[in-house]
Structures are given as structure tokens and as C-alpha cells.
Amino acid sequence: AEKDNFAWGEKEIGLKVDIAEVSKRAAIIAESRIDDLEKEIERQTRERDLLEIKLVEAAKEP
């Protein structure tokens, strides 16, 4: 019975380690995606600013 309990405990620890590793990988992927999206937001913001400048300049032309 002790042997079975020990084996079960080992399996449980193994599963917890696997879950922790999966969670860590998911967090890394999420952080990478966040970085990508932040860069895209910055790019889109710069593009919008340039378009606003062009619009103001075009409005000044006769």
C-alpha cells in the first residue's frame, strides 16, 4: 500500500510539474504577443499622426 501511495505521489508531482511548465510556456507566448501588439499599436499611432499632418497640410492648400 505504501508503494502505491508513493507511486501515486510521484505521478501527482510529475503532473504538477507538467502543468507548471505548460503555464510558463503559455505566459511566455502571451508576453511575446503583447510585445508584438504594443509595437503594432505604436506603428499604427505613428501612421495616424502622419495622416493627420497630411490632412492639415492639404486643408491649408487653396
For the segment 31-38, the average pLDDT, to the nearest whole number, is 98
Res. 61 pLDDT band, cuts 50 70 90: confident
Which of 13, 17, 37 lies closest to 25 in space, CA to CA? 17
Gyration radius of the chain over CA positions: 27
- 56 pLDDT more than 90: yes
Q: How far apart are CA 62 and CA 21, in angstroms?
A: 64
Q: How far apart are CA 30 and CA 22, in angstroms?
A: 12
Q: Who has greater pLDDT, 7 or 13?
A: 13
Helix (H) or strand (E) segment spanning residue 1: none
Calculated CA dihedral for residues 24, 26, 32, 36, nearest 10 degrees: -160
